[in-house]
Every structure is written in C-alpha cells, then in structure tokens.
C-alpha cells in the first residue's frame, strides 16, 4: 500500500522510471554465512530453506513437524505457541483495496501495464518501452519478473478466495497470508466458485486461468450408480469428473461442450499420483484418505 499523500502523477512517474522500491518474498541467505544454514520460507511459517555454499537458497523447502513453526530467531522448528514467525506480503496484487486506499495493482491480462488505485477508482497506465514489464512495484526490463496471476494470497481474514487452477475449489482465509493445502475446499453439488460474489454458485461461470491437466486437474464430484467407480461415463455437462468417488484411483474424465451426450475416455493423473476426491487434486497415494483401487 502506498502513502496517501503521494499524487497519482508522482506514483506513475516513479513506477515508469523504476525508482519505486521493490519488495520480495524470496528467501534470503545471510552474507557472510551465519552459524545456521537454514532460513525461513517467507510465504509459509511451517517451512524453511537450506542455504547453499554459493549463498543461494535451495530450490526446495523442508517442513517442520506437525504443530511446530520455523522460528526466525533461533532458525529452528519450535512449538507454534512460542515461535516467532514473520511472513511477507506479495509484491503483486490484482485487485484494488476494498477501503479505497492508494495502491498499485497488476493487470492480469497484460504485463506491460498496471493500475493505480485511488479513492475507490483506478487509473490504467502503461510502462515505458525501455522498461516495459511491471513486476508489482515498478517497471523493469526483465520479463521474468512479470506478476504471476496464479499466486494465491489472502488479503483479509475470514474470507473465501478462488483457486485459480480449479473453478470448483476455493480457499478459506482464516488469517492474512498465503493459504496452504489445508485451507483448500471444494464446492458441493457441481457448483463453481463465483469470482464476483466469492461464494459457491451453481449458475456461475467457470473461470480457471491456471488450470493444467498435466499436473493438478480441476475436478468436480459426480454421482455413481451401484459402484464407487464409473467406467462408462456419458457427459451431461462440461467440466472435470473423477472416475471414482471413494477410492484412490488416478483416472478422471473431462467433458467439453462438444462432448455433451457422448461417452468420453478417462484421462490420468501424472505417474505415481492418484485423485483425492475430497479436495479434487492429484496427490501422492499416501495422502489420499481412501483405499487404493484393487
């Protein structure tokens, strides 16, 4: 959020010339090296990174045991009640603040432009050609710094926000910050999550800009007759449907508009994973709450 005394013209000029300060949610290893080689994950208090000899963080995170958080002071996992945990706010945001305050938000459709929010409205602005890409704070020459529209963040506690990869899922925000898989829920009765009302709605349009069939297929529940699995599936509506509702199986169905009234062949999760129908995701078999299909 930007100071309210800054004029829109001043903000636009600063963003375009790249003089606005840049924040980051990337892990930072101390230099010179500290006594510990572990640093917190700025987006998740339950996880931490290792620091490599080249001064960078690992490309993976480790998770603290259940009931523990990574403490910023001791650089170790501690009981959640006594740990000091500080999470960052993402640089990129896509919606103006509800209170009408001054802020910068990215254009989810075009990395070369952004919006300045002010007094409940917004002003569209384009970056200069010499620094054409908006990274959430300023215009830059690096296209790799473009805002990720698939990033999920809870701006306000006690709200629900969409899962950009699955229109039938949503995240419950119990706190401000980055939600976890435990916060992921599924709309019932073939409803989808309404992007405008932020509630499940059987009449809402399916919007899922980050859907990927090759990794985490967005699925909705289906009714089976006489069995937990349907091997002869006839499409009655568009969307994604699990083959099995109470069994860990890797297969699912996809129905396009042209498939209505026709039988479709099953698709499959990535090798080594199965569908968990309770969250409608491809997961490791050990994380699926049901038995494996015989």
- Token pair listed for 285: 């078999």
Angle 193-199-201 (CA atoms, 0-180°, nearest 5)? 60
pLDDT one-digit tens code per residue, 100-150: 888 888 998 889 999 988 887 888 889 998 999 999 888 999 888 898 888
* pLDDT at 98 exceeding the cut of 90: no
SS3 171: strand
pLDDT one-digit tens code per residue, 194-236: 988 999 998 888 888 876 533 444 444 444 434 578 888 888 7
Which positions ≥6 away from 281 have C-beta within 8 Å? Answer: 166, 181, 184, 216, 219, 275
Residue 22 is predicted with a pLDDT of 55
pTM here is: 0.57
In angstroms, rounded to a whole number, what is the distance separating the alpha carbons of residues 104 and 123?
Answer: 10
Phi-psi region of 196 (alpha: psi -120 to 50; beta: other; left: phi over 0): alpha
């Amino acid at each position: 959020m930007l100071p309210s005394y800054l004029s829109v013209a001043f903000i636009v000029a600063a963003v375009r010339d790249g003089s606005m300060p840049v924040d980051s949610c990337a892990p930072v290893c101390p230099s010179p090296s500290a006594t510990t080689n572990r640093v917190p994950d700025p987006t998740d208090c339950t996880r931490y990174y290792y620091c490599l000899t080249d001064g960078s963080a690992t490309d993976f995170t480790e998770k603290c045991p259940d009931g523990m958080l990574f403490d910023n002071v001791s650089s170790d996992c501690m009981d959640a009640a006594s740990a000091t945990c500080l999470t960052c706010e993402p640089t990129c945001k896509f919606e103006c603040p509800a209170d009408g305050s001054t802020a910068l938000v990215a254009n989810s459709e075009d990395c070369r432009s952004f919006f300045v929010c002010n007094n409940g409205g917004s002003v569209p602005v384009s970056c200069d050609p010499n620094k054409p890409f908006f990274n959430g704070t300023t215009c830059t020459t690096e296209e790799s710094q473009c805002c990720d529209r698939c990033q999920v963040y809870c701006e306000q506690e006690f709200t629900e926000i969409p899962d950009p990869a699955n229109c039938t899922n949503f995240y419950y925000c119990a706190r401000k910050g980055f939600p976890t898989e435990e916060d992921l829920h599924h709309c019932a009765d073939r409803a989808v999550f309404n992007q405008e009302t932020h509630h499940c709605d059987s009449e809402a349009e399916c919007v899922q800009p980050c859907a990927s069939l090759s990794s985490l297929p967005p699925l909705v529940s289906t009714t089976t007759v006489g069995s937990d699995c349907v091997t002869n599936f006839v499409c009655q509506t568009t969307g994604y449907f699990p083959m099995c509702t109470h069994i860990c199986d890797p297969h699912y169905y996809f129905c396009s508009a042209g498939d209505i009234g026709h039988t479709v062949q099953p698709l499959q999760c990535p090798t080594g994973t199965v569908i968990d129908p309770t969250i409608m995701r491809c997961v490791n078999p050990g994380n699926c709450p049901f038995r494996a299909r015989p």
